[in-house]
Structures are given as C-alpha cells and as structure tokens.
Amino acid sequence: MGQTIVEKIIARNIGAGSVKPGDIVTTSVDRVMLDDIMIPFIADKFHEMGFSKIWNPHKAVLIYDHLVPSSQLDDIRHYKAGDAFALKYGIEHVHRSDGICHQLMTEAGYVKPGDVVFGTDSHTTTYGCVGAFSTGIGYTEMAAILGTGNLWVKVPETIKIIIDGTLPDNVMSKDVILRIIGDLGADGATYRALEFAGAAVERMSVSSRMTMANMAIEAGAKCAVFTPDEKTAEYCGIVLNDFQRNLIGDKDADYCRILTYHGEDFVPVMACPSQVDKIRKVSELEGLPVDQVFIGSCTNGRLEDLKMAAKVLDGKSVAPFVKLIVTPASRKVYQEAAACGAIKTLVEAGAMVTHPGCGLCCGRAGGILCDGERVVATNNRNFLGRMGTSKVEIYLASPAVAAACAAAGKIVSPI
C-alpha cells in the first residue's frame, strides 16, 4: 500500500517504515512558533509543569504580530511576558513587529519541506505550502513541547484534491480554496489532511499555495500539504533532497476522499456573512454597497496580492466614503511592494497602508467597523464580531475582487 504525503512525513519523523490513519505516534518536533497572544499562558503552563529549560531554544520562534502596535493596555503584559521568557530561556529567534507569524515562518526560512511543525495559532496549517506537516495547538501542548521536544499526534486521513487545467485570469487561489471550503463544508475535513495536486496547482506560486494551506483549517483540516518542487526549493533557499523530492502522494495510497476540479470552471467567489463555507459567486452579489475594504492578513497580504490589487486600482481612485486599508504581511513584503511601485499605486488610489501585522483580521489595531457596515476583506474568517460589532457584515474575497470593490464602492467582479 502506498502512502500519502502526510503519512510519509510522519513515518520518517518517527523512524518507522510506514504509518496509517488512526495511529497515535510521538513526533520529534522540528520547529515551534509561539505568538504574542499565547506567550503569557505558555510561560505560566511551562513553569507549572516544572520545566527549567527549553529542550532546544534554537527551534523556538517567538513572534509579536497580533498585538502590534498595541491597542489595549493589556497588550503590554504580553510584551513583557514574552520578552522575559525569551531572555530567561535563551530563545534567539524573536520577531518584534517584523510581520505576521505565518508569513515569517516560511519567509525567514524556519520551515523546510518534510518538517514537523507546531504553532499556537490555528492557521499554522499555512506551512504545508512548502511540504511540511504543520498544525495549530494550544498553550498547554506548546509548553509540553518546549520542555520535551515531543508531541503525540494521531495520523490523519487524507482528502486528495486534484485541480487540473488552467485558472481564468480573474481567478486567484483564494477563489479556489473558498470554492473547496464551500464544497467540503466548515467541518468537512475535520482532523483530516488536505493534499493538493494537479496541473493548476503545479503552476501556482508558493504564495498562492500559502493562501490555500492557510485556509484549510476553515474546513476543519488538521493540515494541508503540497508536493515540494523547484519553486519551493527557490523560495526556501535549498536544494531538495531525495526525501523531499519524493513527497508525492502515491497512486495506491489510501485516500478517504478524492475531489477533482477543472481550473477553467472556477470563477471569482465570496464567503458571505457569517460563515466561511457560505460561498456565492461574486456575479450573484454585484451591486451591494461597500463601506470598507481590507487587503492583508496571513491569507492574502503577500507581494503578489498587493501587486494584483495595484494592477486593479492602477489609474483609479477608491470610491467616495469607502475606506481601503492595506496591510503587508511582513516588513520584507512592504519593502518589495514599495520597490516595485505597488505601494505608490495603492496610495495614489487612496489606500491607507499600515504597518505589517495581523491588524484588522483579528479585530485589533486600525479599522474596526460598527453596526450595519459592510466590509470586503481578503483574510480568512468572517465570524460575527471579528472585525467590530456583531452587526458588521464581512465578505471574504480575493485581492482582485477586493480592489475592484474598493474602486466601485460596491461588490463587483474583477475584470
């Protein structure tokens, strides 16, 4: 019997010839990500468990991103707890406002194909874009890893998603993953891996794959994985070894479900309030007035996203009374977008460009909305109260759709 990508990664990690879905195994962790929201609780639990040192400080990465810049007095407590913990236990990889954790983990080279990675945020599934097994955990599990270097997992079943053909010019990977989430349902992949394959997937950039892996959790997935290729190697700054090159789902692997799509069939879509799996075609929603547009987050704040938004807005202006907030996913993305002229185009169109970070996605610094307002956003969740009051309507869309809506002042399809 062949193996899925996730089964190959876990089997190699534990030194076994093979594993099967349902097996409970203890993994040796390659890297962990600690975010500023969870660090005080991680520290308290670590001390409560009686640990006196971190198993490998080099493998821990602490990232301040949700709470920067601070917007509430209690944010300072998180800074102080994080800094004290990093200093006491020798954590050398600390990022203070360099960008969003999930962007930095791959951008800065912390995650490589075939790694086993855990992070204290549900969208840790993002790192599957480079062929890693990565998933989110709570602060208790993270404290245990920091003290031991290990964590048990149950080997997940895998849903294989094949996307052949070519995507239309006005369709981005955000449209693709939203459509898939709509088909699976918000709980359709609970504790399962999503494995992506097919010609359309192979043509995607690593950034586009990041968007797909990032939102896998919105269907309940434990993780999401792509086969590493030369794009992956270039992005990670490595030469793929034999194991990494072989991270391909075997033809005779046991998949619990296989979904097949044709790229040409995809169209721009949106997730409507207030469920991520409430998917409708943009063409069916055209004409709804928009009060605000947000382009950013760990889902769609990368260079290709900002360049697409700039392309749509080139020579145009943001509609009267509409606020357009653009938040680059990292300091590097911000610099690259400035260097290529994307930032200039967005600013000239009327965008407000903010410091890299999570920002409006988690309802923090800058841009929250009030009762009756409607926002088109490129992030990953549209739950009640996420971007302001519970009466704010959040529509999730691609950067192309979002930019088009900002210029029109209403929901429209991108050209």
Query: In angstroms, rounded to a whole number, what is the distance separating the alpha carbons of residues 174 and 270?
Result: 9
Whose structure tokens read 């190699």?
A: 12
In the chain, ranges of CATH 3.30.499.10 domains: 5-263, 270-408
| pLDDT tens digit sequence for 91-146 | 999 999 999 999 999 999 999 999 999 999 999 999 999 999 999 999 999 999 99
Per-residue pLDDT tens over the stretch 38-88: 999 999 999 999 999 999 999 999 999 999 998 888 999 999 999 999 999
The secondary structure of residue 15, as a DSSP letter, is: T
Q: What is the rounded CA–CA span in Å between residue 107 and residue 236?
A: 8
Provide mean pLDDT across the span 162-166: 98
pLDDT band at 89 (very low <50, low <70, confident <90, very high): very high
Sign of CA dihedral 234, 240, 243, 248: positive
Eight-class DSSP state of 192:
E
On the question of pLDDT at 1 being above 90, the answer is no
State how far the Cα of 49 lies from the Cα of 41, in Å rounded to an integer.
12
- State the Cα–Cα distance between residues 158 and 135, nearest whole angstrom: 14
Question: Is 195 within 8 Å of 225 (Cβ atoms)?
Answer: yes
Q: Per CATH, the architecture of 5-263 is what?
A: 2-Layer Sandwich (3.30)
Average pLDDT over residues 274-286: 98
Candidate from 66-80, 149-163, 285-299, 400-414 with smallest mean pLDDT? 66-80
β partners of residue 261 = 163
Q: What is the pLDDT of residue 215?
A: 98
Q: Measured in whole angstroms, how far is the alpha carbon of residue 66 from the centre of its chain?
A: 14
What average pLDDT does this structure show over 177-183? Answer: 98
Task: Tell the burial category of 372 from Cβ atoms under 10 Å away from its Cβ (0-12, 13-18, 19+).
Answer: exposed
**Pairwise CA distance, residues 275 & 277, whole Å:** 5
Model pLDDT, residue 72: 87
Say if CB 220 and CB 246 are below 8 A apart: no
Burial of residue 334, with CB atoms counted within 10 A of its CB: 0-12 exposed, 13-18 middle, 19 or more buried: buried
- The model's confidence at residue 290, banded by pLDDT at 50, 70 and 90, is very high
With a CB cutoff of 8 Å and minimum separation 6, the contacts of 402 are 293, 294, 295, 309, 376, 377, 378
Q: Can you give the pLDDT at residue 111?
A: 98
**Averaged pLDDT of the chain:** 97
Q: pTM of the predicted model, to two decimals?
A: 0.97
* pLDDT band at residue 364 using 50, 70 and 90 as cut-offs: confident
Q: Helix 331-339 vs helix 342-349: angle between axes, to the nearest 10 degrees?
A: 80
Distance CA 60, CA 92 (A): 8
- Indicate if the pLDDT at residue 169 is higher than 90: yes
Mind listing the pLDDT tens digit for each residue in 197-241? 999 999 999 999 999 999 999 999 999 999 999 999 999 999 999
Residue 294 to residue 382: CA distance in whole angstroms = 12
Query: What gap in Å lies between CA 88 and CA 85, rounded to an integer?
Result: 5
Asked whether the bond before 69 is cis by omega within 30 degrees of 0, the reply is: yes
Q: What is the pLDDT of residues 9-35, one digit of tens each?
A: 999 999 999 999 999 999 999 999 999
Q: Which CATH architecture has domain 270-408?
A: 2-Layer Sandwich (3.30)
pLDDT value, residue 35: 98
Residues 6+ apart with CB under 8 A from 52: none
Q: Is the pLDDT of residue 299 over 90?
A: yes
- Secondary element (H or E) of residue 14: helix 5-14
Q: How far apart are CA 77 and CA 60, in angstroms?
A: 20
Confidence of residue 366 (pLDDT cuts 50, 70, 90): confident
Residue 365 pLDDT exceeds 90: no
Which helix (H) or strand (E) segment holds residue 232: the answer is helix 230-236
Q: Is 64 helix (H, G, I), strand (E, B) or coil?
A: strand
